[in-house]
Amino acid sequence: MRRLAGPLCALALVFTAVGCGPNNKDAIIGKWNSADEKDKHSVEFAKDGKLTWSNDKGSAEGKYTWVDDKTIEMEYELPEAVYQMQKEAFDQAKAMAGNLPGGIGGVANMVEPVKKIKDKATVEIKDGELTLKGNKTLKYKKG
């Protein structure tokens, strides 16, 4: 039994060290690029809780806080150009639906855009990929 004590202790230390790898709070730090070709944007998480969201139309700064080891709350305001683009698309769809026989049609499922975004998301980070599961699921690659 004594001959096994040394190797077992060493093995226990290895398993403990493996379990102490980077956690979500450390691994999320940095810039992440969206994996969705139709919605190209990036999000950058700073160690101090700052969040920067950007695409080719502009950028916005906000903040994020950890609710627990796997959940964050994010708050930021959309760039004016992005908000206006979304609002225009919503208004056009609403106008088209109003002209259809029977009333509002597909607009009933649409949500009017908001400028200030506040969302809670579950964070999963694996093999250089970030998945945020909130109101919708967003996937990113480290970049």
Higher pLDDT, 98 or 3: 98
* Mean pLDDT in residue range 114-137: 93
Does pLDDT of 105 surpass 60?
no
Range of the domain at 56: 24-78+115-142
Per-residue pLDDT band at 51 (split at 50, 70, 90): very high
In a domain, 119, yes or no: yes
- Within 13 Å and on the Cβ side, how many CA atoms surround 68? 3
The domain that contains 74 carries what CATH number?
A: 2.40.128.370
In a domain, 54, yes or no: yes
- Candidates 21, 22, 19, 35; CA nearest to 132 is 35
Which segment of 20-29, 43-52, 77-86, 133-142 scores lowest on mean pLDDT?
20-29
Does pLDDT of 11 surpass 80?
no
In a domain, 43, yes or no: yes
CA quadruple 44, 63, 61, 25: dihedral, nearest 10? -10
Number of domains in the chain: 1
Q: pLDDT tens digit string along 21-47?
A: 458 999 999 999 999 888 899 999 999
